[in-house]
Amino acid sequence: MKQARHMAIKEVLTRVNVGSQEDLLKLLKKAGFDVTQATLSRDLKDLGVGRVNTADGVRYVLQTEAEEQKLRAFLGYEIEGIDSNESVIVVKTLPGRAQGVAGIIDGLHHPLVLGTIAGDNTIFVTPKSVKKIPDLIKVIRSLMSEQRNPIHTSSLH
């Protein structure tokens, strides 16, 4: 049970802007996990989640999310531009970084990515379908920014 609940907590924290353990409790209850605040306090410690003071109140964040953002910033620096024609997406990178960036794109195991091939500062990304090129460009672009669309919990109060 605990393990599944931990998964659920991670899931929730990535999708929702959680500002207190009480909020989290309500959200988990909706997902079928009925526990007390005490247990959540322990879970959050186990998962190593952090509490951040943002402009509009506190927010609980996964420690892994910080890592992810690090990666995003990193890629944003290395990727010079993204372009495409009717059949392939071309990603321009800093010199010598194409292999590395392509590796990261591969590592996504994203369903829209058929495959990549990298030279020195250029990557060709082949989409699953040429119709999906605009979508896939968005995916790659999202690697660069840390844009996200959190749901707020104000409706719970």
Partner DNA sequence: AAAGTCCTTGCATATTTATACAGATTAATG
Partner DNA sequence: CATTAATCTGTATAAATATGCAAGGACTTT
Q: Which is nearer to a copy of itself, 8 or 112 (CB)?
A: 8
Cα(2)–Cα(13) distance, integer angstroms: 16
Quickly tell me which residue has 């990549």 as its tokens: 116
Cα(18)–Cα(25) distance, integer angstroms: 10
Q: Does 2 bind DNA (CB under 7 A)?
A: yes
Our measurement of the distance from residue 122's CA atom to the centroid of its chain's CA atoms, rounded to an integer in Å, reads 24
Question: What is residue 36's three-state secondary structure?
Answer: coil
Positions that interact with a copy of itself (CB under 8 A) = 44-45, 47-54, 61, 63, 66, 69-70, 73-74, 77, 94-97, 120
Could you tell which of a copy of itself, DNA, none binds residue 84, using a CB distance below 5 to 8 A set by kind? none
Q: Does 153 bind DNA (CB under 7 A)?
A: no
Alpha helices in 16-155 (DSSP H): 21-30, 37-47, 63-78, 98-107, 133-144
Question: What is residue 49's three-state secondary structure?
Answer: coil
Amino acid occupying residue 15: R
Question: What is residue 33's three-state secondary structure?
Answer: coil
Could you tell which of DNA, a copy of itself, none binds residue 80, using a CB distance below 5 to 8 A set by kind? none
Q: Which is nearer to a copy of itself, 45 or 109 (CB)?
A: 45
Could you tell which of a copy of itself, DNA, none binds residue 21, using a CB distance below 5 to 8 A set by kind? DNA
Positions 40 through 99 that interact with DNA (CB under 7 A):
41-45, 51, 53, 57-58
Q: Which is nearer to DNA, 37 or 142 (CB)?
A: 37
Amino acid occupying residue 92: K
Pick the piece of the chain touching DNA (CB under 7 A) from 19-27, 68-76, 86-94, 134-142: 19-27
Q: Which residues bind DNA (CB under 7 A)?
A: 1-2, 5, 20-22, 34-39, 41-45, 51, 53, 57-58
